[in-house]
Amino acid sequence: MNPAPEPGLAFQLKLYGGAFGAFSYISRRIALRRRWRMSEQALPGKPRRVPMDASGYSRRRFIGAGAGALAVAGLPAAARAVTNYKGHDVIVVGAGLSGLHAACILQEQGLDVMTLEGRNRIGGRVYTLMDVPGKPEAGGEWMGANYARMIDTSQRLGLQMLGPDEASDIREWCYRIRGEYILASDWESHPLNPTEGDDRRILPHRMLFELSHKNNPLSGQPLDAWITPEFARFDIPQTHYLKEYLGFDDETIRLMNVVIHTDHMDNTSALHEMRRYAVGEFNASRALANAGQPAWVQIKGGNSRLPEAMAASLDNPVELNKTVYAFEDKGKEVTVHCMDGTRYTARQVICSTPWPVLRKVKFTPRLPARMERAIDEIDYGTSIQVHFLLRKNFWELDEMPGSMWTDEPFERFGVHHRGPNGEATSAVAFINGNEAYKYDFMSDEQVSEYTMRELERVRPSLKGALEPIGIQSCHREVHGGGDWVFWRPGQVGQFAAHMREAHGNIHFAGEHTALMERGMEGAFESGERAAVDALLRS
Ligand SMILES: Cc1cc2nc3c(=O)[nH]c(=O)nc-3n(C[C@H](O)[C@H](O)[C@H](O)COP(=O)(O)OP(=O)(O)OC[C@H]3O[C@@H](n4cnc5c(N)ncnc54)[C@H](O)[C@@H]3O)c2cc1C
């Protein structure tokens, strides 16, 4: 094995200082802002903050309308105009984790926030399949020990966590490579294993992570080091980096590429992957620091319970089925236009939709040229999941582990063990990257049929064992765009530091704008930053 190096204390402090230094910086900015707002509350007619209630987030209450009206009469004209403003303080577009976190912070600070969501459900890329046995996660799945904001919010909202043992998900894999089945115990000595030395002990499903992380230049650096000029020389194709810097051969790279979260390693900046593993290393260091706590957790009852609880804590209920197609910034207020013909106005907007969605959204005035290019050119990783009910324990017939990691078109087939005693509950074929594009030419039914046919072809014991119950794919959905943002070679330097720049009264949030954390915690980081930016302008 080639385990990730155990971080020393200095290293841990550096990382800790990186992520949580920023966190406390933001907290300080909020505290300053809060003090400012509290002094404002001496003015009658202004929102008054009250302590947190049982929902976890504090609830905003207003002074009685009569007292407010009297007070307004005594204010100068400019202040009266402000107080009489009919729109909302802030409209948040998108009820994923980033938008909801921003909305909750702004409400806590006494602002009137309206949240508009295009889908008919809360949560965006966090989506628990509540109707499937075992309630598997079809979107954001694991929270790392470094997910400080997300874990804190879950705890404040009274949600419980499950570690990997309790969540008992996919267990042991068998491997199918170049048409041959290989058991984990045989991999080290198997002739199809292309690696050398200690690397031979790394199982195929761990190769991408463990080999990519070797000699990672970002290791031990602050979490936002990836956007600094010092590392710009690694904004090159990942394949080139793996060959020229780490000396891996084509077959090793081919196997690493099977489950790449982007589209292909040729198209992925090495810096993007280095950052991914540096954040993973930070997670490992946090898990070490919290000895006894699992490194990865999920929310008991399904991760969707978190965004749902956050939405329930908002005074203004999230408006569903409100697909936004245009923003009109008139200087003093922004009008947000929805597909159902409704319009909303606010002094400021936080737009948390995935970047690719904005290709179809109109901004007046137009976005700066760099932002327009970023929206056009930045893509998200693709994946498609085909979920199945299990009709029989097919693995008992061929005596191999039920879950397969393969270089076949369906890539991974996992059996979920999410029953109360670890029983098998459902299964999923999970296809990432370039392979997923092919499925764009198929209807949902064709995807299920094709995948089942391929599975039965390579594993005869699966015949009659599977019943398709649905497919899930963010990049197929109009409100999705893909799984996670990824950076192509050269894009980190061009765009990464600029994704969070406000356009007039419109701020941008979303996992793609986070500089330190990634995935769900990145969404929280970005929501917090956008909320503070909006507060500082309100
Ligand atoms: C399969 C999969 C597995 C993942 N696994 C993990 C994991 O294990 N750990 C991890 O940390 N992360 C994981 N992620 C990533 C994580 O889920 C996301 O990074 C995070 O949830 C993104 O949150 P967000 O608020 O930035 O965006 P979103 O959740 O996408 O929220 C944006 C919201 O905007 C809405 N919207 C879009 N367009 C419009 C419009 N025009 N008008 C109105 N509303 C609109 C969307 O419907 C959505 O609700 C995974 C993602 C996927 C897809």
Which pLDDT tens digit goes with each residue over 323-367?
Answer: 999 999 999 999 999 999 999 999 999 999 999 999 999 999 999
- Are 207 and 289 in the same domain? yes
Number of structural domains found in the chain: 2
Extended beta strands in 365-455, E state: 379-380, 383-390, 403-406, 412-416, 426-432
User: What average pLDDT does the segment 178-185 reach?
Assistant: 97
For residue 67, the 8-state DSSP code is H
Query: Any idea how long the chain is?
Result: 538
Residues in contact with ligand 1 (CB, 6 Å cut-off): 93-99, 116-119, 124-126, 139-142, 322-324, 352-354, 357, 383, 474, 479, 483-484, 510-511, 519-521, 523
- Are 208 and 288 in the same domain? yes
Q: How far is CA 8 from the centre of its chain?
A: 29
Q: Residue 481 Cα, ligand 1 centroid: separation in angstroms?
A: 9
Give the 3-state secondary structure of residue 21: helix
In a domain, 384, yes or no: no
Q: How many other C-beta atoms can be found within 10 angstroms of the C-beta atom of residue 228?
A: 12
Single residue among 293, 315, 350 that ends a domain in this structure: 293
Contact 387, 470 (CB under 8 A): yes
pLDDT (0 to 100) of residue 43: 31
Tens digits of per-residue pLDDT, 289-313? 887 778 889 999 999 999 999 999 9
pLDDT band (50, 70, 90) for residue 164:
confident
pLDDT band (50, 70, 90) for residue 168:
low
In a domain, 404, yes or no: no
Q: Residue 198 Cα, ligand 1 centroid: separation in angstroms?
A: 37
List the single range of 93-107, 182-196, 402-416 with lowest mean pLDDT.
402-416
What's the chain's average pLDDT?
A: 85
* 179 vs 293, more confident: 179
pLDDT band (50, 70, 90) for residue 167:
low
Single residue among 293, 322, 350 that ends a domain in this structure: 293
- Are 228 and 289 in the same domain? yes
Contact 56, 308 (CB under 8 A): no
CA nearest ligand 1 atom 2, residue:
139
Give the 3-state secondary structure of residue 28: helix
Extended beta strands in 207-252, E state: none
In a domain, 432, yes or no: no
- 40: pLDDT strictly greater than 70: no
pLDDT (0 to 100) of residue 260: 86
Residue span of the structural domain in which 248 resides: 1-40+202-293
In a domain, 221, yes or no: yes
For residue 193, the 8-state DSSP code is -
Q: Residue 96 Cα, ligand 1 centroid: separation in angstroms?
A: 6
Round to whole Å and give the CA distance between 123 and 212.
31
- 60: pLDDT strictly greater than 60: no
Nearest ligand 1 atom, CA 523 = 26
In a domain, 156, yes or no: no
Q: How far is CA 435 from the centre of its chain?
A: 21
- 140: pLDDT strictly greater than 80: yes
Give the 3-state secondary structure of residue 431: strand
- 501: pLDDT strictly greater than 70: yes
In a domain, 72, yes or no: yes
List the single range of 71-80, 154-163, 176-185 with lowest mean pLDDT.
71-80
Tens digits of per-residue pLDDT, 452-481? 999 999 999 999 999 999 999 998 999 998
Q: How many other C-beta atoms can be found within 10 angstroms of the C-beta atom of residue 83?
A: 16
- Are 206 and 279 in the same domain? yes
Alpha helices in 236-344 (DSSP H): 238-244, 250-257, 270-289, 305-312
- 28: pLDDT strictly greater than 80: no
Mutate to test the pocket of ligand 1, among 306, 353, 384 (most ligand atoms within 8 A of CB): 353
- Are 373 and 519 in the same domain? yes
Tens digits of per-residue pLDDT, 241-283? 999 999 999 999 999 999 888 888 999 999 999 999 999 888 8
Tens digits of per-residue pLDDT, 205-240? 999 989 988 999 999 999 999 999 999 999 999 999
- Are 85 and 234 in the same domain? no
**What element of type H or E holds 251?**
helix 250-257
Q: Residue 104 Cα, ligand 1 centroid: separation in angstroms?
A: 17
Nearest ligand 1 atom, CA 147 = 11
Residue among 342, 328, 316, 348 nearest 91 (CA)? 348
In a domain, 389, yes or no: no
- Are 60 and 111 in the same domain? yes
In a domain, 532, yes or no: yes
Single residue among 263, 293, 323 that ends a domain in this structure: 293
CATH number of the domain that residue 361 is part of: 3.50.50.60
- Are 269 and 344 in the same domain? no
- Are 348 and 321 in the same domain? yes
Round to whole Å and give the CA distance between 183 and 2.
19
- 57: pLDDT strictly greater than 70: no
- Are 280 and 222 in the same domain? yes
Q: Residue 312 Cα, ligand 1 centroid: separation in angstroms?
A: 19
- Are 30 and 66 in the same domain? no
pLDDT band (50, 70, 90) for residue 38:
very low
- Are 55 and 113 in the same domain? yes
